[in-house]
Amino acid sequence: TSFRDGRPSCRMVLLKSYDEDGFVFNTNYTSRKGTQLSGNPNAAMLFYWPRFHRQIRVEGVVDRLAEDAAIAHWNSRPVSSRIAGIASAQSTVIPDRQYLEHRQRELEQEVTTQGEVAAAKPPTWGALILRPRYFEFWQGQTNRLHDRICFSTERPDTDSADFVRPSDRPGWHMFRLA
């Protein structure tokens, strides 16, 4: 993500699912990540496997999923994770760690007395999907002559059309980078 002024911001996210439409993750819409994506929906993801010297970079646009999908994602989480999601007003300043722990205990008690209804999805929490426009598959080499294969919905800026090939998927271009 990035701030409105263009400064980049990154963090790890838990990938909930993926399919041909994109990569689904969850967030609090009022968190730093949520507000940044509201201001600029362009985002990137990175999957890195150091043991294999491989990574996949994905760039695209993030959209909110429908509320029923967000509820399904929320309800698939363990109750303890739902409690944590409610207890933590993500990215807000708090006095200390004990504040969160106290709030967690309060919510655990509410769930004990009221049932799982006390851990219902808050309106500020939802599911997002990054819809890819660009993939870069990187294979690291010991001699530093890395292999980079890209797929993009936009044609790369190059004078040589011979270097860009259509991919098997309509609307996508395949090319290599140095």
pLDDT digits (tens, 9 = 90+) for 62-108: 999 999 999 999 999 999 999 999 998 888 899 999 999 999 999 99
All domains of the chain in start order, with CATH: 18-177 (2.30.110.10)
- At 165 the pLDDT is 75
pLDDT of residue 90: 83
Residues marked active site are found at 144
CA 149/CA 114 separation, integer angstroms:
53
The tokens for 16 are 């909930």
Which residues of the chain fall below pLDDT 70?
A: 159-162
Give the per-residue pLDDT at 159.
66
CA distance 111 to 16: 25
Q: Give the pTM.
A: 0.87
In DSSP terms, 59 is beta-bridged to 44, 134
